[in-house]
Structure 1
Amino acid sequence: MKEKISLLLIVNLLLLSGFLIQAVVKKETIRSDGRLVFLPLPVRLQVNFADLKTSEFCLQYYRSDYDLKIGAESYFFQEGEAELYLEAKYAGIRFLEGNTDGDKLFVGWFV
């Protein structure tokens, strides 16, 4: 019985490790090969991505009753450097062109 439990734990650990590695590899690919865009507000929201214009790209977002989230809701910076980000007007986002799942990576704030 202990052998079955040990085997089950090892298999679960390997599956979890595989999922985590796949997620990291996907984000690293976006970071290194993705196109950088600056996202000002307001943005155009739509339900499907079938009618995108040639200059538009799909970005996955989440909507609640009172909020819109595009991914990274938190951005951490060193203590004492808040003044650098107060004037930011754009969010820098990287994504892979041709990727239809809308996955992206927040890379920073820009003026």
Structure 2
Amino acid sequence: MKKYKWVIILANLIILLVYFNYSVSKKEEILQDGKLVLLQLAPVDPRSLMQGDYMTLRYSISQNISSNHLPKRGYCVVRLDSRGVAEKVRFQQEAAPLNKDEYLIKYTSPNEWNINIGAESFFFQEGQAEKYSRAKYGGVKIDKNGNSLLTGLYDERLKNIK
């Protein structure tokens, strides 16, 4: 039995490392080839806006919805305006149908009041809160399957805040 214990531990470690590397490579692929979409930030209670070294984000596309009528998981279909800012078109459970010039962003609905697109926090270096407090847009790279990755925050002139 001792001999098999180490084999099982080693096999689990290899599976974990393969999965981790696969996950990282998929995120790198989104960063490299994904479409940049700017999501307008919605107001957040100022008392919880800055907590240590991260900012809680909420997006205007997830406001004024009744998520109790939405499936727990699905897609937010958006259309981009001429500046690259996303405008919500509809929510749907499946990836299809998708019209011309529409893009998918996967969402989850943890409760009946919110939907999450997977980028609800932005982490930054301590002492940089003032710089990021003027953010108006979240820059998200999306792939054709609706996977998203937050790449940065943008000001009202659509400039990346660095």
Band the TM-score falls in, shorter-chain normalisation: 0.7 to 0.9
2:13 is aligned with 1:13: yes
**Greater CA deviation, 77-86 or 24-33?**
77-86
In the TM superposition, residue 67 of structure 1 has moved relative to its aligned partner by 1.7
Residue 72 (structure 1) shift: 2.1
Q: Identify the structure with bigger relative contact order (alpha carbons < 8 Å, sequence gap 6+).
A: 1
Partner of 1:46: 91
* More displaced stretch, 74-83 vs 22-31: 74-83
- Summarize deviations over 1:8-63 as a string: whole Å, max 9, x none: 11111111111111000000111122121112223344123323232211111111
Residue 59 (str. 1) matches residue 105 (str. 2): yes
Structure with the higher strand share, 1 or 2: 2
Q: Distance in 2 between matches of 1:45 and 1:90?
A: 20
The within-5 A match list for 1:1-111 is 1-40=1-40, 41-42=60-61, 43-47=88-92, 48-63=94-109, 64-96=111-143, 99-100=144-145, 102-111=146-155
Q: Which amino acid aligns with 1:106?
A: L
Q: Which runs of at least 4 in structure 1 moved beyond 4 Å after TM superposition?
A: none
Unpaired stretches in structure 1, ≥5 consecutive residues: none
Structure 2 gaps of 5+ residues are 41-59, 62-87, 156-162
State the alpha-carbon separation in 2 of the partners of residues 16 and 79 from structure 1.
32
TM-score (norm. length: structure 2)? 0.61
Q: CA RMSD in A?
A: 1.5
Give the Cα–Cα distance (whole angstroms) in 2 for the partners of residues 55 and 84 of structure 1.
Answer: 33
User: Once the 2 structures are TM-superposed, how far is the Cα of residue 77 of structure 1 from its aligned partner?
Assistant: 1.2
The whole-number CA distance in structure 2 between the counterparts of 1:92 and 1:105 is 9
Distance in 1, matches of 2:126 and 2:89, equals: 34
Identity %: 36
Post-superposition offset of 1:83: 1.9
- CA 1:107–1:84: 2 relative to 1, 3 Å: same
Amino acid at match of 1:75: F
